[in-house]
A and B are shown apart, each in its own frame.
Chain A
C-alpha cells in the first residue's frame, strides 16, 4: 500500500506494539498474560508491517525459514527444560530457586518457558499469515 499517512503511523506504532507484547510475556507470571497472549500481540505487529511495507520488507525481519528454525529450537529447549524439572525431582538434581513472588526473576522455569512459548506463537501466527497472503 502506498499511503504516506499509514506508513508513518505504522512506523511509530509498530515498535510500541512489540514493546507491549514483550512486557506481556515478561510479566506473565506476575500479572495476567503470558506467552500465548504476548506472542499474538507481537505477531500482530509483524502482520501490520507485512501489510503496510510489503512482503520484501517483512521477510527481512522474519521469513518462513527463520521462523521454522525458531519454532524448532524453542520446542527442543522447552522439552529439555521441562524434562530437567520433571526428572530432577527423581534424581535429586539441584532445584531451581522460586525467588520472591512478585519479582521478575522468580517462579523457577516459568519465565523462560513463557519466553519460549511467546517465540513459538509469534512465529506460528506470522507464518500462517504469510503463507496465506498472496502477493
Chain B
C-alpha cells in the first residue's frame, strides 16, 4: 500500500513537471520574456536604487534577497541532514 502511494505521488509530480516544461517558450525566440526590459533596468538603476556599486551584490541581496535566504536555508538543511545521517 505504501509503495503504491509513493508511486502515485511520484507519477503526479512527474506529470505536473512535464506539463510545465511543455509550456516553456521556444529557445532563441526574440519575443521571449527573458528579453524584456528587466535586465536593462537592473543595469541602469541598481546603483541609484540600492547604493551598491557591485550589481551582483545589489541583485542577490536586495532585489532577490528572498532567494538568497532560501539558499542559506538549504545550506542549513544540508548540515542538519548530514548530522542526522552520521548520528553525531
- Let me know if B79 and A114 touch, CB within 8 A: no
Question: Is residue A18 within 8 Å, beta carbon to beta carbon, of the partner chain?
Answer: no
Docked CA distance A69–B53 (Å): 32
Q: How large is the interface on B (under 10, 10 to 19, 20 to 34, 35 or more residues)?
A: 20 to 34
Docked CA distance A100–B48 (Å): 10
- Let me know if B57 and A114 touch, CB within 8 A: yes
Chain A proximity of B32: nearest CB distance (Å): 29
Docked CA distance A121–B54 (Å): 20
Chain B proximity of A72: nearest CB distance (Å): 8
Docked CA distance A82–B58 (Å): 14
Docked CA distance A100–B53 (Å): 10
Q: How large is the interface on A (under 10, 10 to 19, 20 to 34, 35 or more residues)?
A: 35 or more
- Let me know if A124 and B61 touch, CB within 8 A: no
Interfacial chain B residues near A34, Cβ < 8 Å: 54, 56-57, 60-61
- Let me know if B83 and A101 touch, CB within 8 A: no
**Interface secondary structure of B, over-half rule:** helix
Q: What mask results when residues 62 to 88 of chain B are scored 1 for a CB within 8 Å of chain A, else 0?
A: 100110110011011011001100101
Question: Is residue A113 within 8 Å, beta carbon to beta carbon, of the partner chain?
Answer: yes
**Interface secondary structure of A, over-half rule:** helix
Interfacial chain B residues near A120, Cβ < 8 Å: 72, 75-76
Question: Is residue B51 within 8 Å, beta carbon to beta carbon, of the partner chain?
Answer: yes
B residues contacting A by CB (< 8 A) are 47, 49-54, 56-58, 60-62, 65-66, 68-69, 72-73, 75-76, 78-79, 82-83, 86, 88
- 7 A-B residue pairings within 8 Å (CB atoms): A34-B54, A34-B57, A34-B61, A106-B51, A120-B76, A127-B79, A131-B83
Q: Contacts A30-B52, A110-B58 known; list 13 others, CB within 8 Å.
A: A30-B54, A31-B54, A34-B61, A74-B72, A79-B69, A98-B51, A100-B51, A101-B47, A107-B51, A110-B57, A113-B65, A131-B83, A131-B86
